[in-house]
Structure 1
């Protein structure tokens, strides 16, 4: 099946706020109407659907972003000056590594969606 791909679909309580937040991280808008929005970071796409009644503290939505250079991505995202604690929404953690897992960092957006940014390895 050539040309097929899968993209993350995440909620947005307000497309204007979501778009502004992700633009601060370096994403660009590829498509937007009242019912759908597509943002891109290079070739990586994420799609958003309206979810105006979402409570960000109860969100269970998530996505993974894999990159060979998570340090460059972290530096880029850090320019948004997000809190680094473990409770704020939004927030950005410092890179870390769990046992038997790739290096990673976490980003939580304004709607409570968790991004796991994982270092791409050859394995």
Structure 2
């Protein structure tokens, strides 16, 4: 296995988190009362319980470096995640930013920001 890192993110409710990410194509790889791992292909997100998290003041975030961001973005749109400027969950469409990188944004129901960053060739 190649070296890698996985984000450790908060979840107010593991059932709700698994349902949200399940609609995006993630499957449960591990779960007990204190930890949950969700997987989508080679992507892996790990969650810890944080029942008192206020999603409107959350500062949790991570980057998902993807060969193609469009399939995950399309899955989120198909799951009913709105393209909006406020609220949780929501999406911000991909743009090429000043860095030259193509990036989209997904904010999950717990207020966690996931940057969907397209890998460069």
TM, length-normalised to structure 2: 0.94
Most deviating of 2-11 and 37-46: 2-11
- 1:100 maps to 2:99: yes
- 1:11 maps to 2:2: no
Q: Which runs of 5+ in 2 are unaligned?
A: none
- State the shift of 1:41 in Å: 0.9
Q: Which runs of 5+ in 1 are unaligned?
A: none
Q: What does residue 74 of structure 2 align with?
A: 75
Deviation sequence 1:4-42 (CA, Å, 0-9, x none): 321100000000100100001110000000000000010
- State the shift of 1:77 in Å: 1.9
Q: What does residue 39 of structure 2 align with?
A: 40
- State the shift of 1:82 in Å: 1.1
- 1:109 maps to 2:105: no
C-alpha spacing 1:97/1:51, structure 2 compared with 1 (3 Å): same
Please tell me the root mean square deviation across aligned C-alpha atoms, in Å.
Answer: 1.2
TM, length-normalised to structure 1: 0.93
Could you list the runs of 4 or more consecutive aligned residues of structure 1 that deviate by over 4 angstroms after TM superposition? none
